[in-house]
Structure 1
Amino acid sequence: MKYPIELACIIDDDDMYISLITRLIDIKKLSKNLLIFKNGKEALDYFVRTLQHLEERGLPQVILLDLNMPVMDGWQFLTELGKYDFPALKETTLYIVSSSINPVDIERSKAISLVKDFLIKPVRPEELANVFMTSEAS
């Protein structure tokens, strides 16, 4: 079975959401492997190590990032990751997936070059499939 994405990443502290999205990704066969981080700090540490040693680890093709998390939120994660100039990040498609419907958050996300789009929870199955299929073509 060929998956559209080899490795995807979820950065979110909501166990119910993670369970739902993981199940959906599995049922629709959207990604062969999945990384899950409960906050931006865990994810940032992984990405910095990975980007410094690309031959040793995989870099996800898709990242689904929540904004509201403990320790380091999504905005802080984006700010910190943006401080690194890693060309390999250009191969990763990052989506903010948030329950926020605040237009300020949506507009703020558009100003960040790492962010492909802003998706509002709950993400519909066809919307999620489109994210993975679009990222495959990139």
Structure 2
Amino acid sequence: MILDYTDSVVFYLVFYLNQNITQEDFDQLVNNSNQKWSLVQSEFNVTLANLGLPISSIPELSEALPETEGTGATVINEGTSAVNLRSAPNTDAAVVASLETGASATALGKNEAGDWIQVDLNGTLGWVFAENITLNVAIEELHIIDVTP
């Protein structure tokens, strides 16, 4: 069951998913745990939550998420159709969002081969194939993000 986060009064954020969780993954987690789990969905993100813990145990946002430095780089879709954002830098990975024609996103880094760029599109992280977008800096300026499993 997916809950709207505004309807959930007490939950403890366990981790943020950069990709959509499958029903099979969710069922496996629930069946292998003595905790109560639920998916909590906001407008942009799906989060896995442990229900029933005291609200006081939820860390302050500034403590929970480390600050990251932006690259100042932006990707722009100057093509004629939307570009897929994927959960990993390959075409077999799940599509997590789309970068519409004319839209832009913040570039966070690249894979080691330099053919995929990780982006932040309004809070959704994903990978775009470099040949499908325009980057406002040289790709060499982006740092390499380790994507080994």
Shorter-normalised TM range:
under 0.3
TM-score with structure 1 setting the length: 0.25
Which structure has the highest helix share of the two?
Answer: 1
**TM-score, with structure 2 as normaliser:** 0.24
Q: Which has the larger radius of gyration?
A: 2
Taking CA–CA contacts closer than 8 Å with sequence separation of 6 or more, which of the two structures ends up with the larger relative contact order? 1
Q: Which has the higher strand share?
A: 2
